[in-house]
Amino acid sequence: MVRGSVLLVEVLVRQAHVAFQMPQKASSRSTRLCFTIEEMSSLATQTEQQALSVSDLTAQLKGHLETGFPSVWVTGEISNFARPQSGHCYFTLKDDGAQIRAVLWRSTAARVKVDLADGLEIIGHGHIDVYGARGTYQLVLDRLEPKGVGALELSLRKLREKLTAEGLFDRSRKRPLPPFPRRVAFVTSPTGAAIRDFLEVLRRRWSGASVLVIPARVQGSSAAAEIVAGILAAGRLRPAPDVLVVGRGGGSLEDLWCFNDETVVRALAASKIPTVSAVGHEIDVTLSDLAADVRALTPSEAAERVVPAADEIQTQMRGHGQRLLNAMRRYVTTSKTRLDALATQRSFRQPLEIIHDRSRWLDEWATRATTAVQRNIRDRKAEFYAQAGKLESLSPLGVLERGYSITQDAKTGRVIRQSSQLRKGQLIISQFAVGKAKCTVDEVSTKE
């Protein structure tokens, strides 16, 4: 009973700060620190009679806000823009200090001449509306004009152009992930949903990889420095991880801004370990996604990209094994068929017969060759003798053999062909078939 009374006291103290009409007696008692049991009992009865339901409270707030802000001009930057099939536009208007949900109904959106997107700074007119089902308020716009690109979006575009010009996002720099990693490092918040989703998918797909979580803030002013430190720490690990994952769950542009930080992008690009960026949801794209070797749409998809599915590998192995077995069977069958065909050939059935045939063939050709050589020698010899006979008949020595001689001048050696070349007393030499003689001319006659 005392505990319940204390709770009622706390409720009354809180209600004292809300601008609702309450009796003066109850209000004065609500500021006291101590009550008697009788006062508590009386106070509880009054509280039950005067307490508002959630619907009543929301209705009063709705009335105050909607009547207090029936027409208002607001300027801000569009973020988290969404346009479902209904045609209505839902987004957040923000500046450096605050943000408010806004809606542009389809009929109004049809009159807007500019393409609405994240980062567009606009000036809008509308009224405040309270959505009682969720207890939230939003700005319902009936007019909207672009003011320009927001500061965050503009700085993001400039940084992207700068890093693109440096080649940090070139596809030629992308490295493939190892097919079967054993060690995976994940730079993220150790208490976030991203690491839980990642681990759940990874353990379901592949049990052969260990995961090392490198804790880092993934939102806020110090997040970028901690992510960079985590990336550098992963590079110093020994043995080095096979894959480095950096990421977090989804969020607004501001929530994910640390992954657009230049230091984070450069650290990812400089990592010697193949990197995977798993930032946000499917529609979120950060500069880290462009710098990493592989971009995963979600942390869950990152696990699917990093490790293979054991079931798929087993199926592939079974398929490869079956194809190998079929190929071996076909090879054995083909080889057996060829062997059977060879076994039926004469060379295998009677190998010596072929040898004998070849031996006889060689003997025949040897006989032919010997005969041809002997005949050729005989023909050449006969021809030689014939030519020798011809030469012999033309030789001067052959003439001398028949009784003739050759006469020469003993001094000049000139052959004497007629008597007119001689003179009396001239010394001559006569050459016979065998031997020679020196003679002196006693008489010369020119008659035949």
Task: Give pLDDT tens digits for 272-308.
Answer: 999 999 887 667 678 888 999 999 888 888 888 888 8
Secondary structure element (H or E) that encloses residue 46, with its range? helix 37-50
Instruction: Please check the confidence at residue 376 and state whether its pLDDT lies above 90.
Output: yes
Read off φ and ψ for residue 74, nearest 5 degrees: -135, 140
Q: What is the DSSP letter of 261?
A: -
pLDDT category, 330, cuts 50, 70, 90? Answer: very high
Q: Is 253 exposed, middle or buried (0-12, 13-18, 19+ CB in 10 A)?
A: buried
Structure token digits, residue 267 = 């650290």
Residue 253 has pLDDT above 80, yes or no: no
pLDDT of residue 227: 92
Mean pLDDT of 158-177: 88
User: Is 185 a residue whose pLDDT tops 50?
Assistant: yes
All residues at 6 or more sequence positions from 448 whose CB lies less than 8 Å from its CB, including other chains: none
Tens-place pLDDT, residues 200-211: 898 888 888 889
The pLDDT assigned to 27 comes to 42
Mean pLDDT, range 394-421, rounded to an integer? 78
Residues 159, 262 contacting (CB under 8 angstroms):
yes
| Residue 265 confidence class, pLDDT cut points 50, 70, 90 | very high
Quick check: 411 pLDDT over 60? Answer: yes
The set of residues, in sequence order, having a beta carbon less than 8 Å from that of 145 and lying 6+ positions away, is: 114, 122, 123, 124
Fold of 167-308: Rossmann fold (3.40.50)
CATH superfamily of 63-149: Nucleic acid-binding proteins (2.40.50.140)
Q: Give the separation between CA 87 and CA 108, rounded to whole angstroms.
A: 10
Q: What are phi and psi of 84, to 5 degrees?
A: -70, -175
Under the banding of pLDDT at 50, 70 and 90, the label for residue 8 is very low
Q: What is the mean pLDDT of residues 57-82?
A: 82
Instruction: For residue 84, give every residue at least 6 positions away whose Cβ sits within 8 Å of its Cβ, in sequence order, or none.
Output: 90
Domain boundaries, the chain: 2-51, 63-149, 167-308, 401-440
Rg of the chain over Cα atoms, rounded to whole angstroms, equals 59
DSSP assignments along 297-331, one per residue? SSHHHHHHHHS--HHHHHHHHHHHHHHHHHHHHHH
pTM (2 d.p.): 0.46
Burial 181-200 (b: 16+ CB within 10 A, else e): bebbbbbbbeebebbebbee
Residue with the bigger pLDDT between 263 and 24: it is: 263
- Same fold: 63-149 with 167-308: no
Q: Which of 122-126, 153-157, 186-190, 326-330 has the lowest mean pLDDT?
A: 153-157
**Residue with structure tokens 């749409």?**
297
pLDDT at 373 over 90: yes
Q: Mean pLDDT score of the chain, rounded to an integer?
A: 80
Could you tell me the CA-to-CA distances from 53 to 41, 47, 48, 56 in Å, in that order? 21, 12, 11, 5
